[in-house]
């Protein structure tokens, strides 16, 4: 498939695409941004595109580094999802501008790139939009891929349009690839090997901010030494299992506190109702409700605070893994030395899970009963749990360095006046 046929199919499917994208919105934005109608940038910005929450968290250290290194160059971050937009606002607090990425129609992407006029375009992970990339190439915008990764499934899907992917990948000026397996997959799709560098994964360079650390310490002080565990990035069908596991824990440790953090904000109210249905006293973070001695569940219904919550935990369950989603970032709790628990569905994090497994730093569970047993084990033997957490933290530290390698690759693409 060539780009022309790809664009024709997009136009044919546009009613369905627009219906899907209609839900990914915030009231403070104009929907016409999806057609490239953004305000013209007054100065040529550094532009980073990260699809959603996970990619924003991955790119966070890179975005912070660019802000610090190039204080005179404005930074623009684009996302595909509303949750990603909210994450940008929460994490960067006005340090960057945000737009929604336009749909990949030729006119929309050309308009977007012309109005933004970036010094550089930095694409995070796997956002390979052919018309967007082509528009950057036409306007001679240097283009880089960072933390490039391809799952086996994504590689199979992209292989169906191999010619289009080869055209797209050859427009990139630099490709920072996560590891050797991903490099092989990009090469199989036609990526130019001479532009590829294996940098390691940016996820390993994450760190809890001083602000988040202080917030964690404050919460722990308020909670008075209770046994706290976190279930984060949970999905529909998973919260029920988490609450069932918490009930098992409460039968032995009546004062235990669960910090429950659903993955998507549109589910916050539904999860709150579910907690109430289970008869568990709850406080909601978004309402500033305090955790009194009778509270058994603290609902983390805010954006951008997951590292704060992990910092309070004696153990952490990472969601998207007890249901067939593929898992979420195991390294966030591991980086803090928190013992990590996961379900069996880890298709999106197989390499990271393998690293933690090799270090005996990951507990696998397959049901609410197993999750409850794992939590009771942590409570019964805190020394062993602490040692597991320390091994996980060692894995994170040993694999850091991707940020420095990525910045080294990006610097030659930046105009001299921005360096």
For the CA atoms of the chain, what is the radius of gyration?
22
Query: Cα separation of 134 and 143, whole Å?
Result: 10
Asked if 211 is an active-site residue, the reply is no
Residue 238: phi, psi to the nearest 5?
A: -105, -35
**C-alpha torsion angle, residues 242, 244, 250, 255 (rounded to 10):** 40
H or E, element range at 98:
strand 97-100
Catalytic residue among 55, 125, 305, 332, which?
A: 55
- The CB density around residue 225, as the number of other CB atoms within 10 Å, is 8
Query: Cα separation of 112 and 131, whole Å?
Result: 11
Output b/e per residue, 236-260; b: 16+ Cβ within 10 A.
eebbbbbbebbbbbbeebeebbbbb
Query: Cα separation of 265 and 206, whole Å?
Result: 23
Placement of tokens 């933690």 in the chain: 356
User: Which residues partner with 262 through β-bridges?
Assistant: 234
The token pair at 152 is: 């086996």
Query: Cα separation of 374 and 372, whole Å?
Result: 5
Residue positions annotated with a catalytic role:
55
């Amino acid at each position: 498939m060539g780009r022309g046929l790809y664009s024709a199919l997009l136009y044919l499917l546009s009613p369905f695409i627009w219906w899907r994208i209609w839900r990914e919105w915030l009231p403070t934005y104009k929907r016409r941004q999806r057609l490239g109608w953004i305000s013209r940038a007054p100065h040529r910005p550094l532009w980073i595109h990260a699809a959603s929450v996970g990619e924003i968290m991955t790119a966070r250290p890179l975005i912070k580094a660019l802000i610090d290194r190039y204080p005179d160059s404005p930074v623009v971050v684009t996302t595909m999802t509303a949750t990603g937009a909210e994450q940008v606002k929460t994490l960067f607090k006005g340090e960057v501008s945000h737009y929604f990425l336009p749909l990949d129609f030729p006119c929309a992407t050309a308009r977007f790139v012309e109005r933004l006029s970036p010094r550089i375009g930095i694409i995070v992970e796997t956002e390979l939009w052919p018309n967007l990339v082509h528009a950057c190439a036409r306007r001679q915008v240097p283009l880089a891929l960072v933390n490039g990764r391809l799952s086996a499934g994504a590689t199979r899907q992209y292989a169906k349009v191999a010619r289009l992917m080869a055209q797209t990948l050859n427009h990139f000026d630099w490709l920072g690839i996560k590891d050797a397996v991903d490099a092989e997959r990009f090469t199989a799709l036609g990526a130019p090997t001479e532009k590829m560098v294996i940098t390691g994964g940016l996820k390993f360079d994450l760190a809890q901010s001083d602000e988040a650390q202080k917030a964690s310490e404050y919460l722990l002080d308020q909670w008075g030494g209770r046994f706290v565990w976190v279930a984060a990035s949970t999905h529909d069908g998973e919260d029920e299992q988490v609450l069932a596991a918490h009930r098992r824990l409460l039968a032995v440790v009546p004062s235990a506190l669960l910090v429950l953090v659903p993955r998507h904000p549109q589910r916050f109210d539904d999860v709150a109702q579910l907690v109430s249905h289970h008869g568990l006293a709850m406080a909601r973070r978004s309402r500033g409700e305090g955790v009194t001695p009778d509270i058994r569940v603290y609902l983390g219904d805010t954006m951008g605070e997951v590292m704060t919550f992990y910092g309070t935990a004696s153990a952490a369950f990472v969601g998207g893994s007890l249901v067939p989603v593929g898992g979420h970032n195991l390294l966030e709790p591991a980086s803090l030395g928190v013992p990590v628990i996961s379900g069996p569905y880890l298709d999106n994090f197989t390499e990271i899970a393998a690293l933690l497994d090799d270090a005996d730093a990951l507990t696998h569970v397959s049901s609410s009963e197993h999750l409850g047993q794992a939590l009771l084990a942590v409570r019964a033997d805190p020394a062993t749990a602490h040692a597991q957490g320390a091994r996980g933290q060692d894995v994170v530290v040993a694999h850091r360095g991707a940020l420095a390698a990525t910045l080294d690759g990006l610097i030659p693409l930046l105009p001299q006046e921005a360096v």
